[in-house]
Structure 1
Amino acid sequence: MKYKAVFLDRDGVINHDHAYVHKIEEFEFIDGVFEACQRFIDQGYKIVVVTNQSGIGRGYYDEAQFKVLTDWMCAQFLENNVEIHGVYFCPHHPKQAQPKYLMDCNCRKPHPGMLLQAIEAHDIDPTQSIMVGDKGSDMKAAKAAGVAIKVLVRSGQTFDEKDMLAADLVCESLSGVPDLVLKDA
């Protein structure tokens, strides 16, 4: 059986993007995130996080610190009755990274690698799925992975017209997305 999923970018969608957030005390959830995810779960969606984390590659924090924060974040979701089925991250950067992470990989959005990994691992049907991101690169990755609905959230960001054109819908934050896309909302 194929499942449908909501793919969420992390910084700027789940939490306020304070640039290279990697400590629990810096992580500030955006209002309405848990409630929005719960509405998606109630409609049969899996929740999957796909996030570029070039701060690892740049040496600002390491994969162990990222894991500690990710485990804490997932526990916060669970406390709010939301299961995160997977967190996929890309530590690479094509130009500004330590040698180990210096590469133009297939996982860094706008490439679809993280989404394709999740689709395979969780038996997801991208044609029934949704991507919610705050950048044009999120929209491009979703399109390349065949994700049906691409939602760009403002969450304090400013976009150029190309970013907005790459999205199917534009919304202020994740909290408003269920009203736009769920038939039984």
Structure 2
Amino acid sequence: MKLVILDRDGVINEDRDDYVKNTTEWVPIEHSLEAIANLTQSGWRVVVATNQSGIARGLFDMHALNAMHEKMHRLVGQAGGRIDAVVFCPHGPDHGCECRKPLPGMVLEIAERFNAKLQGLPMIGDSLRDLEAISAVGGLPMLVKTGKGGKTLAKGGLPESTLVFNDLYDAAEHLINHFEAQR
């Protein structure tokens, strides 16, 4: 099985400094829906792993988060793709949970749920914490320059073996064309 983990804000949809709080603010990045459709149609399972501390901060509630994810699923489906699961951390940065990236809790949960090998498992994100979460378990960190990705790249200090792409579309094309077919 081919499995890829995607961060949400800054990778699939536009990120906001004041948090994406509702369906109106949830706006897909150009070509991201096509990228997910291309992955799906090439036999990849796509799972989203996203920190959503806006819940803990009281900026939005579970109803709003569910509505944003329903919109994401609908638009991806209309583009011909599928997201197999969405895993999220609702905690704030000081909560002390095991799921908030850069900790690998969500990655471990996804690997267990999909019976996937951690070694080489690709994860596409726009922040250092995304890259650290997958790197911590031997996966393949992939940085996109969308969202906070440009700033992340400029700061440096990326995990060894991080691959860098302009956007999700380019990262997806790389996986489709260059990744080992069977994991």
Return the letter of the residue paired with 1:169.
Answer: L
Aligned twin of 1:11: 9
Q: 1:121–1:168: structure 2 CA closer, same or farther, 3 Å change rule?
A: same
Kindly indicate whether the alpha-carbon contact (under 8 Å) linking 2:53 and 2:91 is maintained by their aligned counterparts in 1: yes
Is the aligned partner of 1:162 residue 2:161? no
Structure with greater proportional helix content: 1
Q: Post-superposition shift, 1:146?
A: 2.8
Q: Which moved more, 1:106-115 or 1:32-41?
A: 32-41
Shift of 1:166: 4.8
CA drift of 1:30 comes to 0.6
- The answer as to 2:110 corresponding to 1:118 is yes
Q: How many residues are treated as equivalent by the alignment?
A: 174
RMSD: 1.8
- Offset, 1:34: 2.0
Conserved 8 A contact 2:37-2:76: no
- Give the AA of the match of 1:7: I
1:4 and 1:125 in contact (8 A); partners too: no
State how 1:81-92 maps to structure 2 within 5 Å: 81-92=80-91
Runs of 4+ in 1 over 4 A off after TM superposition: none
Q: Which one-letter code corresponds to 2:9 in the other structure?
A: D
Structure 2 SS opposite 1:13:
coil
- Aligned residue in 1 for 2:121: 129
What TM-score results when the alignment is normalised by the length of structure 1?
0.86
Structure 2: state its 5+ residue gaps: none
Deviation string 1:62-96 (CA, Å, 9 cap, x unpaired) is: 1221111111211111111211111010011233x
Q: Which residue of 2 aligns with 1:78?
A: 77
CA distance in 2, matches of 1:14, 1:176: 13
Structure 2 length-normalised TM: 0.87
1:1-185 matches, cutoff 5 A: 3-19=1-17, 20-95=19-94, 103-147=95-139, 149-157=140-148, 158-159=151-152, 160-163=155-158, 165-166=159-160, 168-183=162-177
Deviations 1:110-164 (A, max 9, x none): 01111111111122233353100000100110112332x211111143121113x
Seq. identity, %: 34
